[in-house]
Amino acid sequence: MTARRTNLGSLLVRSMREAVRIEAGALRPARRHRRTITDVTVSPPPAYGASQVRALRDRLGLSQPLFAQALNVSVGTVRGWEQGARVPDGPSRRLLEVVEHAPNVLLRAVHDARGRSVRAPAA
């Protein structure tokens, strides 16, 4: 019984040393912990009004039809958002948020006549 406790004790000490090294960034964890709804929260995407959608599209330098095609929505949807007749909801709000913070994610799908991806205009 004493040998078993000694082995358990040394295993615990070794595990704690490993945990400290992982926390310090000196060692990568052997496996990842999957986050669940009980562990974390997800902030809702921001609301986008007509002027915000238009400003985002203008910042990317895209026409309404091209912006719509890149977002995989209809031109009427983009027009409705920009005129205030429609409001982006659910997935559209999250998609617009991604495009706002990482425009090249969307622009990688937009190609010029030579087949090269378009870049966001300099701010």
Domain spans, the chain: 36-123
For residue 6, pLDDT over 70 is answered with no
Confidence class for position 97, pLDDT limits 50, 70, 90: very high
4 three-state secondary structure? helix
**Would you give the end-to-end CA distance of the chain in angstroms?**
70
Q: Is the pTM of this model over 0.85?
A: no
pLDDT tens-digit profile of 44-69?
999 999 999 999 999 999 999 999 99
What does the mean pLDDT of the chain come to? 89
Fold of the domain spanning 36-123: 434 Repressor (Amino-terminal Domain) (1.10.260)
Query: Considering the chain, what percentage of its residues have pLDDT values greater than 70?
Result: 93
Contact call for residues 66 and 110 (beta carbons, < 8 A): yes
Closest CA to 72 of 123, 115, 109, 118: 109
Confidence class for position 123, pLDDT limits 50, 70, 90: low
What pLDDT does 118 receive?
A: 77
